[in-house]
Amino acid sequence: MPDFAALSTPALILDEERCRRNCARLRDHVHALGAAMRPHLKTCKNLEIARWCMESPQGPATVSTLAEAEYFAAGGVRDICYAVGIAPDKLARAAALRAGGVDLILTLDSLEAARALLAFARERQLSFAVMLETDCDGHRAGIAPDDPLLVILGRMLHDGGQEVRGILTHAGSAYDGGTPEQLRQLAERERAAAVAAAGMLRAAGLPCPVVSVGSTPTAHFAGSLEGVSEVRAGTHVFHDLVMWRLGVCEPEDIALSVLATVIGRRADGGLLLDAGWTALSRDRGGPGGFEVHGYGLVCNLDGQPYPGLCIRDTNQEHALAHGPYTPPLPVGSRVRILPVHACATAACFDAYHLLRGGRIEAELSRCRGW
Amino acid sequence: MPDFAALSTPALILDEERCRRNCARLRDHVHALGAAMRPHLKTCKNLEIARWCMESPQGPATVSTLAEAEYFAAGGVRDICYAVGIAPDKLARAAALRAGGVDLILTLDSLEAARALLAFARERQLSFAVMLETDCDGHRAGIAPDDPLLVILGRMLHDGGQEVRGILTHAGSAYDGGTPEQLRQLAERERAAAVAAAGMLRAAGLPCPVVSVGSTPTAHFAGSLEGVSEVRAGTHVFHDLVMWRLGVCEPEDIALSVLATVIGRRADGGLLLDAGWTALSRDRGGPGGFEVHGYGLVCNLDGQPYPGLCIRDTNQEHALAHGPYTPPLPVGSRVRILPVHACATAACFDAYHLLRGGRIEAELSRCRGW
């Protein structure tokens, strides 16, 4: 049993062996299908972990904030895709990163954003690299893969001296659930949408060197990545109860857990723990998830789940654990809680405590803010 | 219209006038009922804001983590109740605070916690001040107000050289909803439970100088605080959409908002904003709340809500706003989002941007961690 005595609770524990295994598993699968990894570093937000999942210490990488881009650039990552639609007032920071030698790639999906980027680039005599976002599942952002707006934007940017780097899509609806067969179909739809959009750009004589897809579920269930050059996934480095429910991983693949202490026992047997929503987040993990795992599954210190013991409620600094059989753990006992959504739980903490060979070996900090 | 141009989004905006007015309103109400304020500083986690809501710069105050206690103690707060059941391994930090001259008051509700505290205190020859927690609504922690365990614990602590400071209860179920009349009844139940428990201690010849109640809804709806010495409330400094739904405040009382930028517009008219769950939290605000306000209400820069425009979904760095009529705000436009749960939204940020007299005047940092 690992010795956690030196840690104050709640604390975020990262199992290095599981994390490295998760990284290798998806990389091997993506490589076998002929594509490269561009892991989404919004999940880990730490340089050392990023190096476990990137193809090389210089990238490629994906980020969701410019703060992440700046942090990873300072750590030597040179090829970074900022995969959130660029807001006009963030162009100056993006330009500064590019001026510093980072190949920062921006994303957009509207005439307005393209015009703002072109105006800024013209005034400063700059050239940005841009991904055009296409929508494969109606989940969030992007232009339909058969919408001529893609070509219009590509043409505007290209003629305005910008570099059209390629097509980007994200099957975000994969997190909402589905059978393995549905996830395989969604992965194929994601691939086909990106390839179709890229084909439209190329047919119009525009460059489109990169075809980028990615969500952790579709990346694992993809049967083909024909025509795709890179896969963005991030949650796979840790995995979580959402990924378990979707059939992407087993509980013993989940590399992240929250160490917590029993601070009380209710008359109904429920255990009160000192890990509230400040430590676990309030993420419920998509439709139907909360009923299965609540705000987390409670394990012993070896990481073995107590059968059915879930976090049924949280307050700011309290969690209430209940199960069909709730072990009568005395006040002061410690447990580990598997996260519903690894990105959200990790975001609650400033650092990971690295578990390596059964010992807490190091503290890895996380980049914060925007 | 305030000038937010210098701020990068997402950013946390605090309206000082509203905040001070909220603090004064509850203080006046509590004073009129003959009790004192012991505000819960877990909501604001900042010394300057704490001074707006405390009775004096030295307190009294309530906290939910020892990190908060240490931070506020360093800022001169001397009377601090740590209102979460004490874990045995946190006693050393608590003792260090007391050794530094802070009247840190601990909370417990079990034989196990009392035994651990007594063993630690005996070994170090210390005396802790302790509140016994009683349960007024089955919400979370505490001993039933008529359970003789309260007297047993009080006797053990008293005879063991510890100071029984009083009785503490929290009507946490008030956040789950109810009519004003139900909240009035719950406030009365909270008061009566605390007073009954205190009476039992006193009848046994034990000291019980403090009778402490508090949740923001019950504090506002209390018609009597007879027998109560102090009220702990925290959310009232900012208010939020939960408090609005409960009838505790109006939208124009909500002092906290998240500044965000439009980064895209969907074919269905939905607006994509750069404030995801990292900025808004995933708090849905109790039963039935999500249907009313989603993850937040969207306002213009003056803080006027766009009618019915809510955040219907979030990802890590995206929010999707939809309403019966969604204004076609261009990419690059800015909005302000009212929080569902002020404690949770504030916890996403490291600092507040203080809005004073229509101008952003200062940055106030927040204490973090545990």
pLDDT band at A249 (very low <50, low <70, confident <90, very high): very high
pLDDT band at B139 (very low <50, low <70, confident <90, very high): confident
Q: Two tokens at A368? A: 């914060």
Q: What's the mean per-residue pLDDT of chain B?
A: 96
3-class SS of residue B41: coil
Cβ distance of A263 and B8 shorter than 8 Å: no
Instruction: Name the one residue in this structure whose structure tokens are 């969690």.
Output: A319
Chain B residues lying within 8 Å of A344, measured CB to CB: 277, 282, 316
Q: Is the pLDDT of residue B138 over 90?
A: no
With beta carbons less than 8 A apart as the criterion, state whether A208 and A202 touch. Answer: yes
A110-119, A136-145, B83-92, B147-156 — which is least confidently predicted? Answer: A136-145
pLDDT band at B178 (very low <50, low <70, confident <90, very high): confident
Q: What's the mean per-residue pLDDT of chain A?
A: 96
pLDDT digits (tens, 9 = 90+) for B349-367: 999 999 999 999 999 999 9
A123-127, A177-181, B111-115, B154-158 — which is least confidently predicted? Answer: A177-181
Q: Which H or E run contains B74?
A: helix B66-74
Strand partners, B364: B352
Give the DSSP letter of residue B210.
E
Q: Considering Cα of B49, then B55, then B56, then B62, what sign does the dihedral take?
A: negative
Q: Is the pLDDT of residue A96 over 90?
A: yes
User: What percent of chain A has pLDDT above 70?
Assistant: 100
Mean per-residue pLDDT, B300-328: 96
pLDDT band at A317 (very low <50, low <70, confident <90, very high): very high
Please name the residues in contact with B340: beta carbons below 8 A apart, sequence gap of 6 or more. B240, B241, B242, B280, B281, B283, B284, B285, B289, B293, B294, B295, B296
The gap between the terminal CA atoms of chain A, to the nearest Å, is 38
A18-27, B1-10, B61-70, B74-83 — which is least confidently predicted? Answer: B1-10
- pLDDT at position A174: 87
- pLDDT at position A2: 82
pLDDT digits (tens, 9 = 90+) for A40-64: 999 999 999 999 999 999 999 999 9
Q: Which H or E run contains A202?
A: helix A180-203
- Minimal CA separation from B370 to chain A, in Å: 7
Cβ distance of B331 and A263 shorter than 8 Å: no
Cβ distance of B113 and A330 shorter than 8 Å: no
Mean per-residue pLDDT, B273-301: 96
3-class SS of residue A258: strand
Domains of chain A: 16-237 (3.20.20.10), 248-365 (2.40.37.20)
Chain B residues lying within 8 Å of A86, measured CB to CB: 263
Instruction: Name the one residue in this structure whose structure tokens are 């349960």.
Output: B135
d(CA B171, CA B157): 25
Mean per-residue pLDDT, B294-319: 96
pLDDT band at B12 (very low <50, low <70, confident <90, very high): very high
Cβ distance of B110 and A265 shorter than 8 Å: yes
Cβ distance of B42 and A330 shorter than 8 Å: no
The nearest alpha carbon in chain B to A318 belongs to: B84
A9-13, A67-71, B174-178, B201-205 — which is least confidently predicted? Answer: B174-178
- pLDDT at position A194: 98
d(CA A239, CA A43): 10
- Minimal CA separation from A204 to chain B, in Å: 23
**What are the DSSP E strand ranges found in chain A?**
11-15, 36-37, 61-63, 79-85, 103-108, 129-133, 163-168, 210-213, 230-231, 256-265, 271-273, 297-299, 305-314, 319-322, 334-338, 351-356, 359-365
Q: Is the pLDDT of residue A117 over 90?
A: yes
Q: Is the pLDDT of residue A195 over 90?
A: yes
With beta carbons less than 8 A apart as the criterion, state whether A88 and A120 touch. Answer: yes
A15-24, B1-10, B211-220 — which is least confidently predicted? Answer: B1-10
Q: DSSP string spanning A287-308?
A: TTHHHHHBT-EEE-TTSPEEEE
Cβ distance of A344 and B277 shorter than 8 Å: yes
- pLDDT at position A177: 78
d(CA B195, CA A325): 35
Cβ distance of A277 and B283 shorter than 8 Å: yes
With beta carbons less than 8 A apart as the criterion, state whether B336 and B257 touch. Answer: yes
CA distance readout (Å), A279 to A258, A314, B234, B262:
8, 10, 19, 29
pLDDT digits (tens, 9 = 90+) for B208-264: 999 999 999 999 999 999 999 999 999 999 999 999 999 999 999 999 999 999 999
The type of residue at A257 is S
pLDDT digits (tens, 9 = 90+) for B124-136: 999 999 999 999 9
The nearest alpha carbon in chain B to A275 belongs to: B370
Instruction: Name the one residue in this structure whose structure tokens are 């519903």.
Output: A340
Q: DSSP string spanning A17-55?
A: HHHHHHHHHHHHHHHHTT-EE--BTTTT--HHHHHHHSS
Q: Is the pLDDT of residue A316 over 90?
A: yes
Chain B residues lying within 8 Å of A8, measured CB to CB: 89-90, 93, 370
3-class SS of residue A85: strand
